[in-house]
Structure 1
Amino acid sequence: MFRFLSRIVLAGALSTTVFSALAEEQAKQALQQRLNQMQQYRADFNQQVTDAQGEVIHQASGQLVMVRPDKLRWQTQAPDDTLLIADGQSVWNVDTFVEQVTIVKQNQAIQNNPIILLTSTDEAKWQQFRISQPAEDTFMVTPQTSDSQIQQLELRFDEQSLTGLSMKDAQEQTSKLSFTDIETQFTPQLSDFEVTIDDTYTIDDQR
C-alpha cells in the first residue's frame, strides 16, 4: 500500500513539474514573439520608485530607445539630465551634473538582469530566467539565481508594443515605468548609441 501511494505522489509531482516547464516554455515563446515585433522601440517615459514601505523616493522622466540586438539609450531630462548608453559592447553612464562618464563592459553590467531580454536574441541569456504569463498582456520574468540585483521584472503590453514595466530589486525597491508616444516603425540612427565626451569630463573606464 505504501509503495502504491508513493508512486501516486511521485507521478503527481512529475506531472506538476512537466506542466510547469511547459507553461514556462509557452510564456517564453509568447514573450519572444511580442519582442520580435518591436525590433526597434522609442518612447517617452515617466518613472516612479518606491521603497519597501511604498513611499515614493524618486521620480524621473525622459526618453528610451532600444534596438535589437543589445542596444539601448536611456536619457532623463528631469529631475536631472543623465544619459546611459549600451552599444552592444560597453555601457556608458554620463552624468552631466558632475561631468563624469563611467564605462563598464556590457556583459558585466547586465549580468543576471532580466531587463536584457528586451534587446537580447541570445538563447543562452534567455535560459537564465524563468518566465510566466499571468495575463494575456502581462509577463513576469525572474532570474534563475538569487544573486541578481533585479529580483523580478513585470512587462505590460497592448496589442502592438510595450506600454509599461515594473522592476523589484534586492532592497525591495520598486521602479515603475509607463511609456507614451511609442514608436516601433522608424530607422534607427547609429549616433543614438554613440557617446561624445567633452574634454572637461572625468572618465572612469572600468572595462
Structure 2
Amino acid sequence: MMMKTLSFSMAFLLTFTMPAFAGDTPKADLKALLADMQHYSADFTQTVTDESQEVVHEAKGTLTMTRPDKLRWETTLPDETLLIADGEAVWNIDTFVEQVTIIDQASAVADNPVILLTSQDDETWQQFNVAHGDDNQHFIVKPLSEDGQIRSLSLTFDTGTLRSLSMHDAQSQTSRLVFDNIDTSTAPEMALFEVNVPDTYMIDDQR
C-alpha cells in the first residue's frame, strides 16, 4: 500500500500566481503554470475508488513539497504513516512495526506523471503527453510508456493554485486528493526531508 501511496503523493507547490502562458500547446501551458513553482504544503483528504466507483480507502494527512524532487507525505487517519522522498531515495517509515523500507527515488517515480510537479528536467517532460481538460485550469497527463503504475494524472487549478488531483492506476483504481489550508509562500525547513532512523528499527534497503 505504501508503494501506491508514493504514486498517490509524488504529487504534488510554489508561489503560485497565474503567469501568461508561454506556448500554444497544453504541455507548454502547464510548464508555464508551474515555471515558478518552488514550495507547496497543504492538508489533504484522499479518497480511493475502484472500477465500480466503490470507496476502498480514505485517508487524511499533510503534504509538503519543494523543488527539486523533495516530498514529505504524512497521514494522520486512519493510521499514522510517514513517507519521505529526499531527492535520492524514498523512505517508507512504519512506526507501528518499527521498520524502514528504502528504495531508489528515480526508480520509484519512473513513468509517474506526478514527477512533473517537482521536476525541472526537460528530458523528463518529454516522457509524457499533456492535454487540456475542461478549460485551461485543468490538465490531463499521461506517460508515453504503459509500464508504469499510474496511467493518467488529472490536475485542477483555481486562479493558478493547485486545488486537487486525481490519479488512475493500472488496477483501475482512482485516487482523488483535495487540498486545503494551502501554503505556497513559506519555504519548508529542509529538516522535514531528512530521515533519522532509530537504532531499534529494522531497515530494508532495496536500493
What's the TM-score once normalised by structure 1's chain length? 0.86
Q: Which is further off, 125-134 or 195-204? A: 195-204
Shift of 1:34: 1.7
* Structure 2 unmatched ranges of 5 or more: 1-22
Q: Percent identity?
A: 54
Larger RCO, structures 1/2 (Cα 8 Å, 6+ apart): 2
The residue aligned with 2:186 is: 186
Taking the TM superposition and a 5 Å limit, the aligned residue runs for 1:68-79 are 68-79=67-78
Shift of 1:120: 0.4
Shift of 1:187: 2.2
The residue aligned with 2:62 is: 63
2:110 partner SS = coil
Asked whether the equivalents of residues 34 and 161 of structure 1 are also in contact (C-alpha less than 8 Å), the reply is no
1:50 aligns with 2:49: yes
Asked whether the equivalents of residues 137 and 160 of structure 2 are also in contact (C-alpha less than 8 Å), the reply is no
Shift of 1:74: 0.6
Larger radius of gyration: 1
Taking the TM superposition and a 5 Å limit, the aligned residue runs for 1:65-144 are 65-134=64-133, 135-144=135-144
Q: Which is further off, 74-83 or 193-202? A: 193-202
Asked whether the equivalents of residues 167 and 174 of structure 2 are also in contact (C-alpha less than 8 Å), the reply is yes
* Structure 1 unmatched ranges of 5 or more: 1-23
Give the aligned CA root-mean-square deviation in angstroms: 1.3
The residue aligned with 2:199 is: 199
Partners of 1:52 and 1:98 in 2: CA distance: 32
The residue aligned with 1:4 is: none
1:98 partner SS = coil
Shift of 1:25: 6.5
TM-superposition CA deviations, 1:170-198 (whole Å, max 9, x none): 00000000000001101221101001212
Asked whether the equivalents of residues 139 and 154 of structure 2 are also in contact (C-alpha less than 8 Å), the reply is yes
What's the TM-score once normalised by structure 2's chain length? 0.86
Query: Displaced runs of 4+ in structure 1, greater than 2 A?
Result: none
Aligned length, in residue pairs: 184
The residue aligned with 1:30 is: 29
Higher helix share: 1
2:28 partner SS = helix
